A and B are shown apart, each in its own frame.
Chain A
Amino acid sequence: MKELQGYRKPFLNTQPEFLSPGYASTIKRAPSLAPIALEPTLSELTGPRFDPRQLGASANDLTAGHKAKPIGERIWVSGRVLDDSGKPVSNTLVEIWQANAAGRYLHDGDQHNAPLDPNFTGAGQVFTDEHGHYRFRTVRPGAYPWRNHHNAWRPAHIHFSLFGPAWSTRLVTQMYFPNDPLLDFDPIYLSIADEQARRRLVSTFDWETTEPEEALGYRFDIVLRGRTATPFEKGKGAQP
């Protein structure tokens, strides 16, 4: 059988720990025992491949599909999906979801008294192109309160979900906006110990993709696990 190449483990402190007590919901939901290291097999090194034809033409335009345009500051969110060696991850599914401009999700569980927008659902999907590029048109989501601690507010964010080439490369994350004063107080953002790693979750304002008379541009590049370079790296733990 062909030698199987696994995927590199993340650097220390660049991923959150399961238990992060500042985020209260982790206390009863974080596993208490350390995960057991599994030598990756075909089961972990293959993964689902989705068909771009499943998506409608405007699946990456969250401002479309309703009777009128949603309220809010229109933005382009674009970037590249790469692996950790810088190679583009092409033709991979990117899913996003978000609150509306007032900070309200179209979800029964959202009790925030900000208004719903009849012209905004807040979900989008796109496949990366051959160079790993993706792009969404949407509105900038609002900040919203949550009950984690006194006067807790989530910084404005967009949820991102990616598959990559294998079951091992699955990633769900959140994209934040530059200069948001709430970031320094958000236990979900702060759950990543390494400051540089945290900052990589913050998009950058980008003139290149800002469209005159239409929308501001924000860039957010996403890095998935890359292949181990040699079989010798197989089974190695977190790198320093």
Chain B
Amino acid sequence: MSLRMTGSQTVGPFFKIGFSWLYRADIGSAARGGERVRIRGVVYDGDGQPIPDALIELWQADAQGRYATDPDGQATAEAELMGFGRVPTDAQGAYEFRTVKPGRVPHPSGRLQAPHLSVTVFMRGLLKPVHSRVYFPDEPSNADDPVLLSVPEARRRTLIAQKGPESLLEWDVRMQGAHETVFFSY
């Protein structure tokens, strides 16, 4: 290695100017099959106040567990989804995506991972983004997902969406506090 990675800086309060051209709340519209879901939630600060100026980006596989790109950055032929979403929180701190539930993707251990969405959250006051995952409720494969199992049991629930009415799933982000969301480094 000859160079050092550029330092991260906050998106600040005005990221809408630069990011809104690529806002995508509807990720699953191109998919032919799969279970349609809505993921909704609120982002909270350490006082339990909603954060109205956060940005959430999402990356996921299609319903068959195929990503739109391979690890060399090349497009894959089969994937039905582009798989990328980006939305800001609204004045109430809420966000919503519409998508399809992803399939299971391989883990380096050789096992399959439980269906999940990768989420990155940016906001004023975050000098670098936080990374998390959203898992699905009533999903038997959660029980042996290697990533979920690496999280202390008491905190795992922060990664699993709650079932709402119909196709709605609720997943909140808590930056601090007793139920602080699990964030990952990788």
A binds B: yes
- B80: min CB distance to chain A, Å: 15
Contact A224 B6 (CB under 8 A): yes
| Chain A residue at minimum C-beta to C-beta distance from B177 | A32
Chain A residue numbers with a CB within 8 Å of B49 are 28
Contact A86 B3 (CB under 8 A): yes
Chain B residue numbers with a CB within 8 Å of A125 are 21
Task: List CB contacts (< 8 Å) of A37-89 with chain B.
Answer: 37-50, 82-86
Task: List CB contacts (< 8 Å) of B110-143 with chain A.
Answer: 110, 113, 116, 118, 120, 122-131, 133
Contact B186 A201 (CB under 8 A): no
A207 within 8 A of B: no
Contact partner of A15 (CB less than 8 A), chosen from B2, B5, B69, B122, is B5
Q: Which of A46, A188, A225 has the most CB of B within 10 A?
A: A46
Alpha-carbon separation in the docked complex, A192 to B127 (Å): 9
What's the count of A-B pairs with C-beta under 8 Å? 244
Alpha-carbon separation in the docked complex, A225 to B13 (Å): 26
Chain B residue numbers with a CB within 8 Å of A188 are 9-10, 127
Contact B108 A41 (CB under 8 A): yes
* Contact status of A1 and B106, CB under 8 A, knowing A38-B147, A123-B18, A172-B8: yes
Task: List CB contacts (< 8 Å) of A210-240 with chain B.
Answer: 222-226, 229
- B183: min CB distance to chain A, Å: 5
Contact B4 A10 (CB under 8 A): yes
A29 within 8 A of B: yes
> What are 20 A-B residue pairs whose CB atoms fall within 8 Å in the complex?
A6-B186, A15-B8, A16-B128, A17-B127, A26-B126, A29-B46, A29-B125, A35-B184, A36-B151, A36-B184, A41-B107, A43-B118, A82-B3, A107-B13, A125-B21, A165-B72, A166-B71, A172-B9, A226-B1, A229-B1
Residues of A near any B CB (own CB < 8 A)? 1-2, 4-11, 14-18, 20, 23, 25-33, 35-50, 82-86, 95-98, 105-107, 109-110, 121-123, 125, 159, 161, 165-168, 170-174, 188-189, 191-192, 196-198, 200-201, 222-226, 229
